[in-house]
């Protein structure tokens, strides 16, 4: 654009704006056409394609098609000026030029100013890039947090399972000896504090070795599992506890149970096991599996240690065996 195309009455302003890398037009009301009033800065020359019409401003700067109606609306609202968002265009040399448009009303005349704003754009771009990276990092953190929570839940479930397994006998699913010892201690302390009776049954499957030798260890395992199921069925109170003590020996802890009830339970177990009719043909006691039981009930002023109680109930069990098996024997007073 030659300097003689500029508006002489705005020459000082036009010169100033041109020096600031701005392109200035006046919007002529009659047909809303753009009349240039400043010399074209280098960036404008660089976006005119070969053979292109340098006066086809809206084609050269398509953003103005949106901005001019916005500017007119602003002026109609009585506001003096408005500024556009950034836009970028590719120059003939393949570089990008980043532009901002300003609409101003001066002495009743409407001007559109477009300027390159490279540094401002880059500053905004850095800030926006940082915001985007932060958004992505927050997403990653959110996803990792979800994964950590899921892992923690799985670990907790595995720990629960492990904890359960650590107190169970693998073959019968009953509690194991270690857990029995722990609970027995607690229940004895509770019985001593509360002044309640506490009963303990020791049970041994009669001639179990013979059963194993006759029918094989698999049959022996089946027998132990069946007896385990039966004991769980017979001993149902939440505070009662059945444990496999080792081999074919079982312990049944009966808190708040007196001697009469304990013996009744022991006899029920004895009968129920026989009623299972698990073959043990070599046994001289019975052609089916039977069990011997020792019964001990601690009175409120009775023995004070688990060892004393186990010794007493073990002696009762030994006596049941000695008297011919397939029976329940209550621990004698001297055994208490």
- Active centre residues (catalytic): 248
Smallest gap from residue 49 Cβ to another protein (A): 9
The binding site for another protein (CB under 8 A) comprises: 59, 62-63, 65-66, 70, 85-90, 94, 96, 98, 121, 124-125, 128-129, 131-132, 135-136, 139
Determine which helix (DSSP H) or strand (DSSP E) holds 299, and give its type and residue range: none
Determine which helix (DSSP H) or strand (DSSP E) holds 207, and give its type and residue range: none
| Comparison of 67 and 245: residue with beta carbon closer to another protein | 67
| Comparison of 124 and 182: residue with beta carbon closer to another protein | 124
Q: Which two tokens stand for residue 36?
A: 């240039």
| Comparison of 132 and 217: residue with beta carbon closer to another protein | 132
How far is residue 220's CA from residue 207's CA, in Å, rounded to a whole number? 11
> Residue 126: left (phi > 0), alpha (psi -120 to 50), or beta?
alpha
As a whole number of angstroms, the longest Cα–Cα distance in the chain is 134
Smallest gap from residue 179 Cβ to another protein (A): 46
Residue whose token pair is 């059963």: 211
Helices H / strands E in the chain, number of each: 10, 11
How far is residue 85's CA from residue 101's CA, in Å, rounded to a whole number? 8
Smallest gap from residue 140 Cβ to another protein (A): 11
| Comparison of 52 and 194: residue with beta carbon closer to another protein | 52
Enumerate the β-bridge partners of residue 254: 199
DSSP 174: S
Smallest gap from residue 70 Cβ to another protein (A): 7
């Amino acid at each position: 654009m030659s300097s003689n195309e500029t508006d002489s009455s705005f020459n000082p302003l036009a010169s100033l704006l041109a020096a600031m890398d701005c392109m200035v037009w006046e919007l002529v009301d009659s047909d809303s056409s753009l009349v240039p009033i400043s010399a074209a800065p280098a960036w404008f020359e660089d976006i005119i394609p070969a053979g292109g019409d340098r006066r086809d401003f809206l084609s050269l700067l398509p953003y103005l098609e949106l901005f001019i109606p916005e500017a007119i609306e602003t002026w109609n609202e009585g506001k003096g000026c408005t500024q556009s968002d950034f836009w970028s265009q590719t120059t003939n040399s393949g570089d990008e030029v980043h532009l901002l448009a300003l609409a101003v009303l001066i002495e009743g005349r409407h001007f559109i100013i477009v300027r390159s704003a490279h540094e401002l754009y880059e500053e905004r771009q850095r800030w926006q890039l940082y915001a985007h990276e932060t958004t992505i990092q927050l997403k990653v953190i959110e996803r990792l947090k979800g994964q950590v929570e899921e892992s923690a839940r799985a670990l907790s479930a595995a720990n629960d399972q492990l904890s359960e397994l650590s107190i169970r006998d693998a073959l019968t699913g009953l509690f194991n000896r270690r857990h029995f010892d722990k609970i027995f201690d607690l229940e004895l302390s509770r019985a001593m504090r509360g002044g309640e009776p506490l009963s303990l049954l020791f049970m041994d499957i009669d001639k179990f070795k013979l059963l194993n030798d006759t029918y094989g260890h698999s049959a022996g395992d089946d027998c132990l599992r069946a007896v385990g199921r039966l004991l769980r069925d017979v001993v149902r109170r939440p505070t009662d506890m059945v444990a496999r003590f080792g081999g074919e020996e079982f312990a049944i802890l009966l808190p708040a149970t007196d001697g009469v009830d304990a013996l009744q339970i022991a006899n029920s177990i004895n009968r129920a096991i026989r009623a299972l009719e698990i073959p043990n043909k070599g046994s001289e006691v019975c052609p089916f599996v039977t069990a011997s039981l020792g019964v001990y009930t601690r009175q409120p002023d009775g023995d004070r240690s688990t060892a004393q109680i186990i010794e007493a109930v073990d002696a009762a069990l030994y006596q049941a065996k000695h008297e011919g098996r397939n029976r329940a024997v209550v621990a004698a007073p001297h055994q208490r």
